[in-house]
Structure 1
Amino acid sequence: MTHVVVTDIERTDRELAAAFAEFGSATVHEAMGRVGYAGPRIKPIQRDVAISGTAITVMVAPGDNLMVHAAIEQSQAGDVIVVVPVTDSPYGFIGELMATQMQVRGVCAYVTSGGVRDTAELRAMTFPVWTAHISSEGTVKDTAGSVNVPIVLDGVVVHPGDVVVADDDGVTIVPRTRAAEALEATRARAAKEAANRARYQAGEISMDINKLRPVLDQLGVRYLTQAEYHSGSR
């Protein structure tokens, strides 16, 4: 395998990428047709933080953070560094010192299917992280990997320049080539949810708003009194 650092990636427009943070990972995931969610393994180390930005992708060897250093050099303001070890690797690939470099360069978050450490310090410096592992175990710097190539984050393909949306619910990836249409769909879904919320607050329920009674009927779900249920009328 040839290992590379790609230096001139095409990023999603910065304002377009940043606009997704308002809506959150779940709404974006639903609006895109229930795709792009990286799964429940990738969790935030903080709470009440929502971000979106453009992906700097990093493929690393297990227990080796050499290419994360190379990725920081390639990062710009508004980027999210996304790190995927080639095999599951619960090491602390970054901590406070690595995050300090990222924060100074304007990197808005770090996402990984590997691990991190110094989590108390990361929270104190308000640097957002989503990770599969928290581990004190350190890494080495002697194995080649690649920066800004396609990677797979727990089943989701991430290309450099894609949009990373992350909050308390997890991480959703928006392909760069779909970002504009995905934002339009996300705004439409958010507007629909706002309208439904107002109806719920007025006393209506989802069984009626979503027309779910015919669905139950088609599935053979019957409504019984308790007496009918205990009498075996089913």
Structure 2
Amino acid sequence: MRSVVVTDPPKADLDKVTKLAEYGVATVHEGLGRTGFLGTGLRPTHLGSRIGGTAVTVLSWPGDNLMIHAAVEQCGPGDVLVVTTTSPCSDGMFGELFATALQLRGVRGLVTTAGVRDVAELHAMGFPVWAGAVSAQGTVKATAGSVNVPITVGGQLVRPGDAILADDDGAMVVPRQDVDRALTSAQARIDKEEATRQAFRDGQLGLDRYGLRAKLSELGVEYVTAEEYGS
């Protein structure tokens, strides 16, 4: 495997990515046809954060955080560090010291398939993290990997400069060329959901709004009285 640090990848427009994050992961994910979700294995270490930024990607060997150190130099305002390993790893590869360095550079958060530690400190300093594990297990700095190359997270391809969104529902990637489309589709979904919300407030049932009575009948679901069911 060739080990490289790519220093100048193109990035999605940060203002648009910041706006996209306001819609939330679930809305953007649905608006894009249920694509881009980075999987249920990534959970926030603390609830209440919502971020959007441009990906700086890291491919590391398990239990080795050397390339995270290399990645810090490549990070700037509005970035989100995205770290994965060449094979599954739950070791605590990231902690408060890394977060201190990244906060200084304007990085908005971390998404990693590996583990993190110093969780209380990360929470106190307000550095959002979505991780595959929490672990005190330490790491080494011995093996080369790569920075700002395409990586795979949760079955999704993440390229450097793509939009990364994360909140209490998880994390997702939006390819940088799809950010404009994501903004349009997310707003359309918000409008549709507000119309549905108002219909529910007015007493309409989902069975009727979504035309599900015919679906139930098609699937052979019958309405019977309790007496009929008991007999």
The residue type paired with residue 180 of structure 2 is A
Alignment correspondent of 1:141: 141
SS of corresponding position for 1:27? helix
SS of corresponding position for 1:183:
helix
Q: Which amino acid in structure 1 is aligned with residue 10 of structure 2? A: E
Distance in 1 of aligned mates of 2:37 and 2:219: 29
> 1:43-122 alignment to 2 at 5 Å?
43-122=43-122
What's the CA shift for 1:85? 0.7
CA distance in structure 2 between the aligned counterparts of 1:86 and 1:155, rounded to whole angstroms: 14
CA distance in 2, matches of 1:172, 1:78: 16
- 2: CA distance, partners of 1:200 / 1:139: 52
Name the SS for the 2:224 alignment partner. Answer: coil
Paired amino acid for 2:178? R
Q: Which amino acid aligns with 1:64?
A: D
What is aligned with 1:124?
124
For residues 108 and 21 of structure 2, what CA distance do their matches in structure 1 show? 11
- Secondary structure of the corresponding residue to residue 165 of structure 1: strand
Distance 1:206 1:48 in 2: 29
Runs of 4 or more, structure 1, over 4 Å off, are none
Tell whether the 8 Å contact from 1:55 to 1:162 is kept in structure 2 after alignment: yes
Secondary structure, in 3 states, of the residue corresponding to 2:137? coil
Contact 1:57 1:160 in 2 (8 A): yes
CA distance in 2, matches of 1:97, 1:56: 18
> CA–CA distance in 1 between the matches of 2:172 and 2:205?
29
Deviation at 1:229, TM superposition (A): 1.3
C-alpha contact (below 8 Å) 1:44/1:130 kept by paired residues: yes
User: 1-side partners of 2:99 and 2:60: how far apart?
Assistant: 17
Q: Which residue of 1 aligns with 2:194?
A: 194
Equivalence for 1:180:
180
Query: Secondary structure at 2:152's aligned position in 1?
Result: strand
Q: In 2, distance between residues paired with 1:209 and 1:72? A: 50
Q: Distance in 2 between matches of 1:70 and 1:207?
A: 54
The secondary structure found in structure 2 opposite 1:16 is: helix
Question: Paired residue for 1:29?
Answer: 29
1:188 & 1:161 partners in 2: Cα distance? Answer: 25
188-197 vs 74-83, which moves further: 188-197
How big is the shift at 1:190? 1.0
**Cα RMSD over matched residues?**
0.9
Aligned partners of 2:20 and 2:182 also within 8 Å: no
> Which residue is equivalent to 1:20?
20
Residue 202 of structure 1 and its aligned partner are, at CA, apart by 2.0
Report if the CA contact (8 A) 1:58-1:148 is conserved. yes
Residue 216 of structure 2 is matched in structure 1 by: 216
Question: Aligned with 1:88: secondary structure?
Answer: coil
1:160-190 Cα distance to aligned partner (Å, 9 max, x none): 1111111001011111111111111011101
Contiguous gaps of at least 5 residues in structure 2? none
Task: Work out the CA distance in 2 between the residues paired with 1:86 and 1:223.
Answer: 54
